Structure 1
Amino acid sequence: MFKALVVDKDADSGKTSAAVKDIALADLPEGEVTVAVEYSTVNYKDGLCIGPGGGLVRSYPHVPGIDFAGTVEASDDPRYASGDKVVLTGWRVGEAHWGGYAQKARVRADWLVPLPEGLDTRQAMAVGTAGFTAMLAVMALEDHGLTPGQGPVLVTGAAGGVGSVATAILARLGHEVAGVTGRPETADYLRKLGATTIVPREELAETVKRPLESETWAGCVDAVGGAMLARLLGQMKYGGSVAAVGLAGGAGLPATVIPFLLRGVNLLGIDSVMQPYDNRLRAWQRIARDLPMDRLEDMIRPATLGDLPGLGADILNGRVQGRVVVDVNA
């Protein structure tokens, strides 16, 4: 028997409840690799799966946790052997498939990535899906021509999980980083991560009629979407790119095509869930190389399985700063 956060739904009321329970190895779903989980983390999707489900969870009882890192305990796949350190993000694990909020997990071998040299399992979960997504966004901007010295790079939702890691990586790579936040109390935190400018959210939240404004940003990692994304598209420098990673401000895009036609602006969609293996490996290797570990440590908030019901509610209400690292064995 081992411990897991189990979410169940009442058949009559439809309400969900989450509690730490003992489950057996035989309860785990099918998969080629069994992992002794060491750490997990908390993302917005986790908050949904711990709470109302958000349409992500297919059946109950359910073990959430879209990320985990740990040590292979048993494997029917030649790519992994007992004792290997591995990390998992995406593939709808923690949503359609039982996830990492447990001391053991069983998954398909195709979903795993070897833990890159230079990272331990705790650091990997300080990165998690949020940091992995941030690295994918930085790589996409680089692939479309972004280099240090071209001008400031904007990060929206900068104090959140994706924004925090993006800010630290971009600063480490030599970019001038402007962090957008609606929480003035996070300014010192963002400067410590490497942001040189703090942009109050209200400065970009208002929709304007002009399709183009002054060319300001050489690139952007956007976690907000909605009206803010529409506004900043008109502020991009010629040929600049925006990597869209989230929709905290809404799924709509009240924009025109003018920035694309007159300034050659690129809007790059970033998906971390179904990312091919080779690009996953490339991103994790870049994380190990380009994410400053001292700044990563500044982002970490420790937690246990018992803390997760409260943290799930907190992240849905925008009350989580940086990265939560869940020690599933504490």
Structure 2
Amino acid sequence: MNAGAREALTVSGLTVAYRSDAGWLPVVEEASFTVREGEVLGLAGESGCGKTTVAYAMLGERRPGSRIMAGTVLVESQDVLAMPERDLQLLRGARISMVPQNPATSLTPTMICGRQVMEVLEYHRIAAGTAARRRALELLEEVGLRDAPGAFAKYPHQMSGGQQQRVVIAMALAARPRVVVLDEPTTGLDVTTQWRILRLLRQLRDRFGTAMLYVSHDLAALAQICDRIAVMYAGRIVEVAATRVLFAAPRHPYTRALLAAVPSLDRPPEAEPALKGSLRRDELPPGCPFAPRCAFALPACAVTPQALVAIGVGHEAACWRWRELDGGLRALAHAD
């Protein structure tokens, strides 16, 4: 990523809530981050942390039963959240697009794949007729489908999961958007296909300077493609850092636990799990949401919330004890 690259996506104070019996329950609180041209920002966390809700909010989409309570999402200085639906439909695909988790459900089963790519080009008035067909073939080649004419003529069910995902990526990039949101794009694919898709995304990022928001629970995948990673817990961003820094010196106990939970040949199968319990939104304390599961929490942690604080160049963490974590969790445990 070019250090002088412009901000392609700027998110400030994003708060999203879902309707519950007790009223509106916040599932994303005060999320703020930026993604620059040519940068891949990872959004990591367990299931239920709010990362997919954030992903859909980037396109101004409200998931069923949800409401965007506050915040701004700027794409080319335009606030996506303030746009009427008609303008949003023109923005989606042209300025910001999404690659969803399941390509099989994203593609129309009764339409050949090439025609689906053509429809994106025609909808945004990029090309039509023969020109749209020619451009669709070029896009299928760009995403690594060697037999582009063959792929063009196939229905989705005639393709493998990896091939389907490449078609979806071709559709997402058809209008050359500034920002692409990827929601668990390699989930369900075998390891080899995952690696190929990640390599393809890196190549496309480098070639076109596209800004990418990569949403995933898979830290191994994030490590391969992301320049920076933001870690979410219970709807809040608890740590942000360059990928290498985050893996080498995480300063939030939740980040440490996530990294320790990654399967390793060095850890025996009977080893105690690094991340105990589960996220219970109905039992969150007024302070740090991770306090009930944190082995290193102080009494004050559950009472007083800690905002993100700068602890290094481009590194922020929301933990009262981040200085002590510098020595590692083992040293921190002995300090209590």
Shared topology, TM-score over 0.5? no
TM-score (ref. length: structure 2): 0.24
Task: Answer with 1 or 2: which has the greater Rg.
Answer: 2
Q: Which has the higher helix share?
A: 2
TM-score (ref. length: structure 1): 0.25
